[in-house]
Amino acid sequence: MTPKILLLSNNRTERCGVALVGRHLLQACQQAGLKMLAWHSTPAEPLPAQADEFDIIHVNWHAATVGHLKVQDFPAGPKLSIYVHEPASLCNLVERADLVIASESKLVGAEPKRLEVLLPPCLDYSPLSTWDGAELTLGSTGIRRDGLDWVAGAVERQHVELQEQDGPLGFGEVHPGAWRLAPSSQDPDGWLSDEAEIERLASCAMTVFHYHSGNSGQSYAAMLGVAARRPMLLNHNRMLEHLWASPEAQEELYVVDDVASGIYQVVQDLRDGKEKRPWKLAKARSWGRAVEKLGEWWASL
């Protein structure tokens, strides 16, 4: 029998990566035929009144979003499942949980009864857009703007070097060797939809995720770059470990700690027609496959 699952998250929060994971989880579960209902948990209303009617309560947990939840909030009947976004942070629900799911294999604090690893999944969406082969645009996405100053610095140095070599550009002129940073986009009504953002990234020459200050958890925003299926440049920051440590990394990703030399490498491969793109990663890490695993874990509780 398919279990009835209650999802506790902060799904209504617009600009939040944790909420985004919750919304994508709900969408993928419903598409897979799982019985899941979402509840926007707040300190005033942490759980709905009918919470004890569910077989499983799954918490999309981060201290900043649902850190108000307490063990005594949960009824005794349903099994408790938790997804811990940042394993380095303390989650007060771990000891009560029947299943803890995390993006890394080690948690700080209490030892869970059962721990399963789920790496950040990729949206099941294939973009129609593609790079036009003209301007060398460097796409980046996400609320986190970590590392964009490094990329912007590399872009500025490239422009300066080209002007020193070839003279200033004319009005409206774009040098074929110039780079342009295209960070997270916004439309008049708010942030772009997931599909529109993936299409935007897919129209760029490459995507760049070069984190420098972030050191906790695993980046979900980078999975939009995987979904865009353009050449993808990363560094060895631990928030990107779920990508650069993957079996597909050498074959499908550019992992270079010096952002300028990494961009040069991708540009050269684009010119030679041998650029690497994350085709296998997008398939292997799809939300569809992730939900298959989650469904198996929940059914075994």
Query: What is the enclosing helix (H) or strand (E) of 99?
Result: strand 99-102
CB-CB contact of 155 with 212 (8 Å): no
What is the model's pLDDT at position 172?
59
Task: Determine the pLDDT at residue 180.
Answer: 74
Tracing tokens 């349903």 back to the chain, one arrives at: 78
pLDDT computed for residue 161 by the predictor: 66
Cα–Cα dist 104/87, whole Å: 7
Over the chain (301 residues), what is each successive 10-residue block's mean pLDDT?
91 83 94 95 95 96 93 95 89 94 87 93 94 87 69 71 63 63 64 86 92 80 94 93 90 94 91 95 96 96 94
Q: pTM of the prediction?
A: 0.87
Helix axes 148-166, 259-272, angle to 10 degrees: 60
The predicted structure's pLDDT at residue 47:
96
Per-residue confidence (pLDDT) for residue 87, from 0 to 100: 83
- pLDDT, tens digit, for every residue of 270-279? 999 999 999 9
DSSP three-state, residue 242: helix
Shared fold status for 4-121+287-299 and 136-284: yes
pLDDT tens-digit map of 8-41? 999 888 778 888 899 999 999 999 999 999 999 9
CATH T-level assignment (fold) for domain 4-121+287-299: Rossmann fold (3.40.50)
Task: State the DSSP string of 24-55.
Answer: HHHHHHHHTT-EEEEEE--SS-SS-TTGGG-S
User: What SS3 class is residue 208?
Assistant: strand
Of 219, 47, 51, 49, residue with least CA distance to 144 = 219
Domains of the chain, residue spans: 4-121+287-299, 136-284
d(CA 242, CA 221): 12
Please name the fold of domain 136-284.
Rossmann fold (3.40.50)
Report the pLDDT value the prediction gives residue 110, as an integer from 0 to 100: 79
* Whole-angstrom distance, CA of residue 109 vs CA of residue 87: 9
